[in-house]
A and B are shown apart, each in its own frame.
Chain A
Amino acid sequence: MTQTLTIGKALNLGLRRAMEDDAKVVLMGEDIGRLGGVFRITDGLQKDFGEDRVVDTPLAEAGILGTAVGLAMRGYRPVCEIQFDGFVFPAANQIITQVAKIHARSRGKLAMPVVIRIPFGGGIGAVEHHSESPEAYFGHTPGLKVVAVSNPVDAYWGIQQAIAHPDPVVFLEPKRRYWEKAPVDTDATPDPLFAARVLRGGDDVTVLAYGPMVKTALQAAEAAADEGRSLEVVDLRTLSPLDLEPVFESVRRTGRCVVVHEAPVSLGLGAEIAARVTETCFHSLEAPVLRVGGYDTPYPPSKLEEEYLPDLDRVLDAVDRSLEF
């Protein structure tokens, strides 16, 4: 069946399916029960599945992740909602020192199928700590897998795949795109979770993005097409592990690559991608891999976020610089 869903509603439906499919799936988080979450992603789930499976937790993120570890050891599949990206840091100890390492420490005797849902990124006019892009911290932590969805189809399937996956998955949701709609075929065979996807073919420059920046990259490609420039847009989808084969294939054709993310550029995911593209496609490159991202500043007050966040113009500016090189 195909229905038009927002990203938020697709996540809600995906969570519902995952809970129907596996009685061990337990949702935990602040305000996710009666309220349905501050973004309403879990709306109606506590009513239908009960308080034992959709748990309004005490206000303590380390507690959410720490008890998720114990529940996972007991055979449950905890899905933790972190209310906003900036509030994941009180839980960072549990995520980095425990969730990420328990499988390795136990030499595989203990699985850690924990999903950590985080609405991430800016653009909603919020106060501080509500617009962070923490993906590099978690991507830099061996033992974790990190994915970022950009559209309702991936939201619907991705959340189910992440929950079914045996390893811990940091599941990044583009909060400013929660209300974006698209048709979702709930009978389709989904793409694998840990795979990049070429969204738009092009010959001149390869543009890489994930999460909220995918829409920006597509808009840039549209605008570039009006000027006779053909951009290939790749949605990375998985950030750890990276799936760069489609990127290498693309860059070998275009010879140029621009990576876009909201997170600060320095020591970020774009640097890792640039290094790998350079190592693998060195002889095909016509220009250095360029990065477009946030400045190396704390996320600014909302009156400045439009100037902080990469937009269509900044992507096109990088495309121009790549082509002029």
Chain B
Amino acid sequence: MTALRQTTEAFDPVPGAAAPHLPQQPDLVQLLTPEGERVERPDYSVDLSAEELRDLYRDLVLVRRWDVEATALQRQGELGIWASLLGQEAAQVGAGRAMQPGDTAFPTYREHGVAWTRGVDPLHVISLFRGVDNGGWDPVATGFNLYTVVIGAQCLHATGYAMGVQRDGAEHAVLAFLGDGATSQGEVNEALIWAASFSAPVVFFCQNNQYAISVPLERQSRVPLYQRAAGFGFPGVRVDGNDVLAVLAVTRAALAAAREGQGPTFIEAFTYRMGAHTTSDDPTRYRLASELEEWKLRDPVARLKAHLSRAGLADAAFFSAVEAEADELAARIRTGTTEMPDPPGTAMFDAVYAEITPPLAQQREEFLAYQASFEEGER
């Protein structure tokens, strides 16, 4: 009898090291240690001014504050649900800031930090989670597509979009976001095949936050995810997802290669979902508190703050100014959310088609008449 393989043991991304254990990963690109010390990597050099570094820090703090405020709003009944990015700020801000105007992002439903870097109003993301619409921003104007809830579907869209960029002879790149769980989807694998086959200018940015809701990475992959790229025929790289500098450098390089016609890259941003999958989830049912504590030591925001302080690139006045700005942002999000009007009922009919069909137009009229019949009754 063939024994079924027992799969309950902890997944060990690097043989011999406790999992997950960042500093012992030889292939991990890291430019800032968890303590905020700068590490030089000739292959991924990045030379940012003090102001640019401070701007990245500001991004991280503001994005986190937005996320914390949204979680609170959900708890208070103002949002139906919220998918927190807590812990993934550096991965998202680093990736988003690596993009150039003309580049296009295809997010999942958690890329609030990327949305921020593309100039999307937080309230246009909030409106989705409040149930007002499916995302209020303009995907064309922002170069940031609408969120995709069906896992992995956007990877094929990104690849097709990149094939369009290629045909247009445009020097732009496309950034497809996905999670570790999504790598199991057939459609994601099809996207990787397409991208390789047509050498499409697309970069797959996988935030490996270690869990697909409750299911740990070991169930999705027996090899580090970045190594999968080799099998598809293009480079894969693992970057410390809690290191905004490393993410920025690695993503910039991959996007530049795509723009130059060198085809796709798969980036695995090794990170951790510090919160629940969504506000509907209870992670205490499937993971240990000690794991969370370990990852707190690698906090992406504290890391850059430590670097700025150590290197004398920012003073107390700067940090308190950023805090004040975060407070203002949180207040604006709170007010904007609680005062956000409900959509009119007709909204559900109005964009179904570019050309509304006669039967649907009739339904819309009947809907209005039906609604009006209640108003008459109330008079």
- In the complex, the answer to whether A30 meets B215 with C-beta atoms within 8 Å is yes
Q: Is A235 an interface residue (CB 8 A)?
A: no
CA gap between A8 and B369 in the complex, in Å: 38
Q: Does B139 contact A (CB under 8 A)?
A: no
Q: Which of B69-87 contact A (CB under 8 A)?
A: 80-81
- Residues from chain B with Cβ under 8 Å of A63 in the complex: 184, 186
Q: Are B149 and A86 in contact (CB under 8 A)?
A: yes
A58 within 8 A of B: yes
In the complex formed, the residue of A with least CB distance to B151 is A59
A266 to B357, CA, bound (A): 13
In the complex, the chain A residue whose C-beta lies closest to that of B134 is: A128
Shortest Cβ distance from B119 into chain A, in angstroms? 23
Contact of B363 with A by CB under 8 A = yes
Q: Are A304 and B347 in contact (CB under 8 A)?
A: yes
Q: Is B28 an interface residue (CB 8 A)?
A: no
Q: Is the CB of B348 within 8 A of A62?
A: no
Q: Collect the chain B residues with CB atoms within 8 Å of residue A51's CB.
A: 4, 6-8
CB distance from B333 to the nearest CB of A (A): 18
Given A35-B285, A303-B130, does the pair A297, B348 have CB atoms closer than 8 Å? Answer: yes
Does A62 lie within 8 Å of B186, measured CB to CB? yes
Contact with B along A43-54 (1 / 0, CB 8 A): 000000001100
Counting chain B residues whose Cβ lies within 8 A of the other chain, the interface size class is 35 or more
**Which chain A residues lie closer than 8 Å to B347 at the CB level?**
300, 304
Q: Name A90's contact: one of B81, B133, B134, B187 (CB within 8 Å).
A: B187
Q: With the chains together, A295 CA to B130 CA distance in Å?
A: 22
B214 pairs with A35, CB closer than 8 A? yes
Contacts of A52 in B (CB 8 A): 4
Identify which of residues 319-360 in chain B touch chain A, using a CB-to-CB cut-off of 8 Å. 342-343, 345, 347-349, 352, 359-360
B317 to chain A, nearest CB (A): 41
Query: Given contacts A30-B215, A295-B363, are A59 and B133 in contact (CB under 8 A)?
Result: no
Distance in angstroms from A303 CB to nearest chain B CB is 4
In the assembled complex, the Cα of A180 lies from the Cα of B352 at a distance in Å of: 34
Q: Does A34 contact B (CB under 8 A)?
A: yes
Which of A38, A87, A303, A313 contacts B132 (CB under 8 A)? Answer: A303
Within 8 A of A (CB), among B147-190: 149-151, 181-182, 184-187
Q: How far is the CB of B73 from chain A (nearest CB, A)?
A: 14
Q: Contact between A127 and B214 (Cβ–Cβ < 8 Å)?
A: no
Q: Interface 1/0s, chain B 38-74, versus A by CB < 8 A?
A: 0000000000000000000000000000000000000
When the two chains form the complex, which single residue of B80, B343, B360 contacts A126, counting CB atoms closer than 8 Å? B80
Interface code A77-119, partner B: CB below 8 Å = 1, 0 otherwise? 0000000001101100000000000000000000000000000
Q: Measured between C-beta atoms, what is the minimum distance from A133 to chain B in Å? A: 15
Task: For the complex, count residues of A whose C-beta is within 8 A of B.
Answer: 42
- Asked if B234 is at the interface of the complex by the 8 Å CB criterion, the answer is no
Whether B131 and A89, one on each chain, are in contact in the complex, defined by CB atoms closer than 8 angstroms, is no
Q: Do residues B348 and A59 form an inter-chain contact, with CB atoms below 8 A? A: no
Q: List residues 280-313 of chain A with CB under 8 A from any CB of chain B.
A: 295-298, 300-305, 307-308, 313
Q: Give the complex CA separation of A170 and B94 in angstroms.
A: 44
- CB-defined contacts of B285 to chain A, threshold 8 Å: 34-36
CA distance A308 to B131 in the complex (A): 13
> Interface 1/0s, chain B 1-19, versus A by CB < 8 A?
0001011100000000000
Residue of B4, B7, B80 with most partner-chain A CB within 10 A: B80
Decide: A295 and B348 in contact? CB cutoff 8 A.
yes
Write out the residue numbers on chain A whose beta carbons fall within 8 Å of the beta carbon of B151: 59, 87
Separation in Å of the B154 CB from the closest CB of chain A? 13
- Give the residues in chain B near A20, CB-CB below 8 Å: none
The yes or no answer to B109 lying at the interface (CB within 8 A) is yes
Q: Closest approach, in angstroms, between the C-beta of A297 and any C-beta of chain B?
A: 5
Contact A128/B219 with A34-B285, A296-B359 known, Cβ cut-off 8 Å? no
* A296/B131 in contact, CB under 8 A: no
Distance to closest chain B CB from A53 (angstroms): 10
* Residues A301 and B131 in contact in the complex (CB < 8 Å), given A35-B285, A59-B220, A129-B150: yes
Q: Are A31 and B7 in contact (CB-based, < 8 A)?
A: no
Nearest CB of chain A from residue B86's CB, rounded to whole Å: 19
The answer to whether A317 has its CB under 8 Å from any CB of chain B is yes
A60 at the interface (CB under 8 A from B): yes
- Nearest to B188 among chain A residues (CB) is A60
B24 at interface, CB cutoff 8 A: no
**Could you tell me the distance between the alpha carbons of A304 and B367 in the complex, rounded to whole angstroms?**
13
Report the nearest B residue to A264, measured CB to CB: B363
**Choice from B6, B150, B186, B212 contacting A86 with Cβ under 8 Å:** B150
Q: Which residues in B have their C-beta under 8 angstroms from that of A302?
A: 80, 131
Produce 1/0 per residue, B176-217, CB < 8 A to A. 000001101111000000000000000000000000111100
Asked if A301 meets B133 with Cβ closer than 8 Å, knowing A56-B219, A59-B212, the reply is: yes
Q: List 6 A-B contacts (CB under 8 A).
A: A56-B214, A56-B219, A296-B359, A301-B131, A313-B374, A317-B370
B-side residues, CB < 8 A to A, are: 4, 6-8, 80-81, 109, 128-134, 149-151, 181-182, 184-187, 212-215, 219-220, 280-281, 285-286, 342-343, 345, 347-349, 352, 359-360, 363, 367, 370-371, 374
